[in-house]
Amino acid sequence: MLLGGILVGAAGTILTVLMCEAMNRSLLNVLIGGFGGSSATSGAAKATGDQVIKEVTLNDAAIQLYYANSVMFVPGYGLAVAQAQKVCKELDDLLESNGVSVKYAIHPVAGRMPGHMNVLLAEADVPYPKLLDLDDANGALPNTDVVVIVGANDVVNPAAKTDPGSPIYGMPVLNVWEAKNVIVMKRSMRSGYAGIDNPLFFHERARMLFGDAKESLQKLVAEVKAL
C-alpha cells in the first residue's frame, strides 16, 4: 500500500507540473494564487466599444456542419459536466456519413486535469487517430471549415497571444479563430476558470449557440438528420 501511494503521488505531481507548464504558471501560483481579473467578480464576459455578440440558430449551425468539408470539435469542461461526449460522437458519425472529415482538438489542460478529454472521448468510442494534440490541431485549423467549441473557454482565448496584460498571456492555446467559421457552445457568457473575458466571443467569425452542451448537441443531431 505504501509503494502504491508513492507511485500515485509521484504520478499526480508529474501531471500537476505538466499542467502548470502548459498554463504558463508556477506551481506555487496554482496552489495559493488567485487567477483572473475584474471579470471574475462579475462572472460574465462584457462587450466593450462596438463589440457585438452574434448568435447562430440550430438550423443554420446544422447546415454549416452538414455541408462542410472539414469540422473540428474542441471539447472542454462544459462537455464533461453535461456528459455530452456520446452525443458528440453521434453527431460526428452523422457528419462522417455525409463525407465530412471530423477531428477533435485536444488541449493538454482542457477540463480539470491532463488527459480529461481523451478519457471522455475514448469512453464514447472516438477513434484515437481523430484526436489532435495542440500543435497538430493548430496546424490544421486554418484549413478547417467549421470549429465547434463544446464548453471550452480559456484554452481558446486569443488574449493569451494578443494581450500582454492578460493573466494567461503566453499560455499555449488553440488558434480556433483561424478557422473559417467558429461555433461556440456555452450555457452563458460567464467566464471560464481563469475568470477573464474571452474576446473570441466577439470575433467576426464566431457565433454563439447558448444552452446545455448535451441538449444543444442532441438538437443539432435532430436538425442534421432532417437535412
Mean pLDDT, the chain, rounded, equals 84
User: CB atoms < 10 A from the CB of 76, how many?
Assistant: 26
Q: Phi first, then psi: what are they for 212, rounded to 5°?
A: -60, 135
For residue 3, what pLDDT is reported? 81
Give the pLDDT of residue 140. 97
Q: Given the residues 50, 60, 93, 154, select the one marked as catalytic.
A: 154
Q: Cα separations (Å) of 52 from 41, 48, 55, 156, 188?
A: 22, 9, 10, 18, 15
Does pTM top 0.85 for this prediction?
A: no
Which ranges of the chain have pLDDT less than 70?
8, 11-13, 15-16, 18-50, 191-195
Q: Report the alpha-carbon distance of residue 139 to residue 137 in Å, rounded.
A: 5
What integer pLDDT is reported at residue 169 of this predicted model?
86
Q: What is the pLDDT of residue 45?
A: 40
**The three three-digit cell numbers of residue 161, written as one number:** 497571444
Please give the pLDDT value at position 190: 73
Q: Can you read off the three cell numbers belonging to residue 66?
A: 452538414
Q: How far apart are CA 110 and CA 159, in angstroms?
A: 17
- Give the whole-number percent of the chain exceeding pLDDT 70: 80
Q: In what order do the strands lie in the sheet with 146-150?
A: 131-132, 101-105, 70-75, 146-150, 181-186, 206-210
Query: Hey, what's the cell of 225?
Result: 438528420
Predicted local confidence at residue 41, as pLDDT: 33
Q: Residue 147: which residues within 8 A CB-CB, separation 6 or more?
A: 71, 72, 73, 74, 105, 141, 176, 179, 181, 182, 183
145 in catalytic set: no
